[in-house]
Amino acid sequence: MINLQTSTLDLQRAIRREKVMRARSMSEEERLVATLDQIDSAFEWMLEGVRQESPGVTEEQARQILTERLDRQRRREDRGLFVPATMSV
């Protein structure tokens, strides 16, 4: 089990190094576009989660549910009730 954990950590570190090297080779504009693409993808995944949890909702209703969830999360962060985990790889 320890070998599996070690190899998994090694793989995670290698992937992270590769991402960092790729980002360093990009222009600021390319990094911005990549970041915006990742944000769009994250929102689509979250929206798909809402659709899966609430079959039959309209697109507008799904977006409203997602907006409410994000607003609730933002309020928790503002009150210090939730602190996002930091990545330590």
Rg (CA), the chain: 18
CB atoms within 10 A of CB 62: 19
Show the tokens assigned to 30: 């390319």
The predicted pLDDT at position 2 comes to: 66
What gap in Å lies between CA 51 and CA 11, rounded to an integer? 33
| Domains of the chain, residue spans | 2-78
Mean confidence (pLDDT) of the chain: 89
pLDDT grade for 5, boundaries at 50, 70 and 90: confident
Give 24-58 pLDDT, tens digit per residue. Answer: 999 999 999 999 999 999 999 999 999 999 999 99
pLDDT at 1 over 80: no
Angle between helices 28-53 and 59-78 (to 10 degrees): 110
The two tokens of residue 4 are 């599996």
